[in-house]
A and B are shown apart, each in its own frame.
Chain A
């Protein structure tokens, strides 16, 4: 009884050493330590199949040996005598010098006493050595068997866990390496993009400036070729960058309410202008409900449409390019839209249709060598649409043309978003007298921007770095700041942050003029307090539109220093672009509008003077408020703002009549000048006397 209790106690203690952790070696070491101590054994070792526990493994490796100094051999092949001696059914004990694997024992300095070989399960065995035969008696080893089976399962569990952990570790390392490579690629792209865009900006800008000089027909043709090649190069760079970003999963949509019809109208007008040299008509139709705006990434949708329209324009030498959008149905707050871009171009061969949206595949022969492209445009379109859960399909007939159809579902927003700024025909001027601070380190770009701003009628101050920009901002209020990002001494991001903290330009719009085209960098810019981006190289018109947009958006909010002063912009010019855009260039309509305006002026002047004199603020407010849209239509934005300022002043209690009088007289003075200009430069009827 006493003996069996002791033996059970021994097995109990051994059992409790099993599975104390998930590390196979520690488990094994602990088990062997207790086994050797309690059984008075001199040596114990566990071997396992190299590829996890399995039947008939090719090789074994030593998992743990106690004492560890007896581990001369750590690998065994299936042909080793010790493996051959393993027996599934019997526990075998030999005198050390008589064992059939004495070579192995000698190599491991196991050269006295007795040894026992125990199979633990498939692909694992244990070797024990005791000084006496009694230490390895058949009874004691048979007692051990169930404990050893449990031990083998625990070891297998630990090894499986270790394999899993190692696989996880390797996967993590691979992921980290991939991430490092991705970042390096991204940085490379950012750098290359920046390095290419900076000189390209200067080139394209100079082309634009050259275009406005007196050129003979040959020079004009050379210039056209230059512009054409430069545009293609920029398309190529943009496409490669976009494809790369899409592939890296870095394109993140920025859904906001937008006016779909406004967007497409803008595209229509823009493409009309872009292909005006070809006998191709650009048509636009829509079937969208009134006062409905949608929520989506308008920038990306515009990119998609531009790619499709660009494609259509490339392959259409004559005929029509049609753009249409209609709402097929509305389900709750979602609308199913269908957008079509059709052309009467050369069409696509049937065998090319399945691959038309694959990267680097082109479905139709380019008309001219310069139109070859990268084969990325349609792939980008498909990927961007996939991000929007939209699909695109194509129908085409060689020789007759193609129709690309987009099915897209967008959330509906009931309020109309602000209409995009209509393209402004070149030559019109809304920025006259605007104070612009330009921070730009590149000499060529400095010159270019200065020249462009000069053409806009702006007063530009150029500084070479962010530090100087801050210094200037602390002394003077600017209407808008154009800021490069990568500059010496202090970059544009830091400079913007500091400008936003305090001072006179705390709320001045900051537009980044940068060759940094990546979204990540744009986000940094916005986080630093910048308002918008114009990516180099840029067309002067684009810069103008963005400047106008921000000058309008930051109309004075009650801060005196934000309100552009009428007297500060005496050179403000009439800009008929809005009337042109609105009327589709209908000259008669424009003339009608001018005449209406000219007729309104005397009455308006008279009412203003009368209400000033009678100190009737509400009546003064009504007159100015009524007249304000007329100024807007003629592109007299600053005067429109002056009106807004007068409106606010009439609401003060009590109004500052002296200030009101001064403001009104300045306004009337400028309007008088506008009246004169209209009569002399724009009006086609004689001035009334």
Chain B
């Protein structure tokens, strides 16, 4: 359900008109808007005892459209109350006992994760999550936050608005995933010889910005500075090598005072990187491939698709600009062809979360993750 309003009363009233049954959980994907009073929305939902979690994103997706306003409210079935983890910016934060969450009868479980996308230790958190849940759970989700790239409270929970936090809904669905980005190798390999969390300080034992600049300026034909870095770099992300799969993309978004490149997501020291380049056609094609991947798997099961979740990186939308809708149309058309009553819904994210198919849990950038829930 998409609610095209910034008025919390309208949004709340619309949600409250839904029939909420036991085990139902409202997952709210909220488009970033100054007009929306998120605290008041939380208060109204709490008052009505509606179980919910939510995140604020640069945009939300409903069918083939991208909306910069309003809320996608998805009523999904949960097997357990959602887990809210805050204070993730402090070292040695505590983990809840996730074993008890999954202590019910053995059946497929999907973990829908929304995380503060501007935290510097997201991969570390996801590594800890995978350590506790393994591949018994399908993971899908993305980073919440503002397009301004200024960190602020962006996760809605019954306990309030949070930043440096993550919310996880354990959903009673099996999920088939498609993960693609369509970025191709331009140059490399380059070794990230000195890094700290999400900042690359050195590439090939030299200042990261200088090395990166040398590579990029040859291709883009323009001069890259700290000021225009975001605009230029959005077309030249890093790719981390991964066997039998596309590279994991890391998006450099800024240059710090030491010439370090600030990325969305960690880059471990000694990681071998490539500089990637994208074209609109490649990216749109990759979205089509991702949806095919999730549906090709679905054809092997007897079950019907009940929901399709789309986690599309905001930088893809920025890169594709007017053609972004083509990407969404590709997905919508293909899903509708399989099951017309299913509306692909999702958000523009600051980083995407998924395993590549059924492997290790990853945090991606500039990627589209599509999950078909059965």
Interface residues of A (CB under 8 A from B): 2, 5-6, 9-10, 12-13, 16-17, 33-34, 36-43, 66-70, 109, 112-113, 130-132, 134-135, 140
Contact = CB atoms under 8 A, between A and B. Distances in A.
Contacts of B185: 2
A384 to B, nearest CB: 58
Nearest to B362: A37
Contacts of A43: 134-135
A112 B270 CA distance: 32
Contacts of B356: 40
Nearest to A140: B243
Contacts of A40: 242-245, 356-357, 359-360
Contact of A131 (B136, B359, B362): B359
Interface stretch (B11-19, B124-132, B230-238): B124-132
Nearest to B270: A16
A17 B245 CA distance: 22
Contacts of A66: 130-131
Contacts of B191: 9, 12-13
Contacts of B39: none
Interface string B250-271: 0000000000000000001011
A132 B135 CA distance: 13
B358 A42 contact: yes
Given A9-B272, A12-B272, A42-B359, A69 B132 contact: yes
Contacts of B272: 6, 9-10, 12-13
Contacts of A42: 134-135, 355, 358-360
Contacts of B245: 40
Contact of A10 (B133, B241, B268, B360): B241
8 contacts: A6-B272, A12-B191, A39-B244, A40-B357, A42-B135, A43-B134, A69-B99, A132-B244
A2 B357 CA distance: 24
Interface of B: 99, 127, 130-136, 185, 189, 191, 240-245, 248, 268, 270-272, 355-360, 362
A4 to B, nearest CB: 11
A228 to B, nearest CB: 74
Nearest to B136: A109
Given A40-B359, A68-B131, 7 more contacts: A9-B189, A10-B243, A36-B359, A38-B243, A42-B359, A67-B135, A69-B134
A135 B362 CA distance: 16
A131 B358 contact: yes
A113 B270 contact: no
Contacts of B271: 13
B195 to A, nearest CB: 12
A132 B362 CA distance: 17
A9 B271 CA distance: 9
A69 B130 CA distance: 9
Contacts of A9: 189, 191, 241, 272
A37 B242 contact: yes
Given A135-B243, A140-B243, A67 B132 contact: yes
A112 B138 CA distance: 14
A135 B355 CA distance: 14
Contact of B358 (A5, A109, A112, A134): A112
Contacts of A33: 127
A12 B131 CA distance: 25
A36 B356 CA distance: 12
The DSSP consensus for interface residues of chain B is mixed
A194 to B, nearest CB: 52
Contacts of B189: 5-6, 9
Contact of A135 (B99, B134, B268, B359): B359
B109 to A, nearest CB: 13
B31 to A, nearest CB: 32
A140 B268 CA distance: 22
A16 B185 CA distance: 23
Closest CB pairs A-B (n = 9): A9-B272, A131-B358, A40-B359, A67-B134, A16-B270, A42-B135, A67-B131, A9-B189, A68-B131
A17 B359 CA distance: 21
B358 A113 contact: yes
Interface centre among B99, B240, B242, B244 (most CB of A within 10 A): B244
A27 B358 CA distance: 25
A618 B134 CA distance: 107
Contacts of B244: 39-40, 132, 134-135
A69 B131 contact: yes
A114 B199 CA distance: 36
Contacts of A41: 359-360
A9 B185 CA distance: 14
A69 to B, nearest CB: 5
A36 B135 CA distance: 12
B130 A67 contact: yes
A35 to B, nearest CB: 9
A36 B131 contact: no
A355 B134 CA distance: 72
Nearest to A129: B135
Contacts of B248: 37
A109 B134 contact: yes
Contacts of A36: 359-360
Interface centre among B130, B134, B271, B358 (most CB of A within 10 A): B134
A16 B271 CA distance: 9
A520 B268 CA distance: 59
A36 B127 CA distance: 11
Interface centre among A6, A33, A113 (most CB of B within 10 A): A6
A554 B329 CA distance: 110
Interface centre among A37, A66, A70 (most CB of B within 10 A): A37
A305 to B, nearest CB: 68
A2 B244 CA distance: 14
A38 B134 CA distance: 16
A55 B272 CA distance: 36
Nearest to A108: B134
A34 B270 CA distance: 11
B183 to A, nearest CB: 15
A140 B130 CA distance: 24
Interface centre among A38, A68, A113 (most CB of B within 10 A): A38
A39 B133 contact: no
B371 to A, nearest CB: 16
Nearest to A66: B131
Contacts of B241: 6, 9-10, 13, 38
A67 B131 CA distance: 4
A223 B189 CA distance: 104
A38 B135 contact: no
B244 to A, nearest CB: 5
A125 to B, nearest CB: 20
B132 A131 contact: no
A74 to B, nearest CB: 16
Contact of B360 (A13, A37, A112, A113): A37
B359 A13 contact: no
Interface centre among A16, A36, A40, A68 (most CB of B within 10 A): A40
B277 to A, nearest CB: 15
A483 to B, nearest CB: 57
Nearest to B133: A69
A454 B135 CA distance: 96
A588 B248 CA distance: 117
A67 B241 CA distance: 21
A248 B127 CA distance: 55
Contacts of B270: 12-13, 16-17
Contacts of A135: 243-244, 359
A64 to B, nearest CB: 11
Contacts of A113: 358
A13 B272 CA distance: 7
A6 B272 CA distance: 9
B180 to A, nearest CB: 14
A132 B271 CA distance: 24
Contacts of B136: 109
A135 to B, nearest CB: 6
Given A9-B189, A33-B127, A42-B360, A70 B242 contact: no
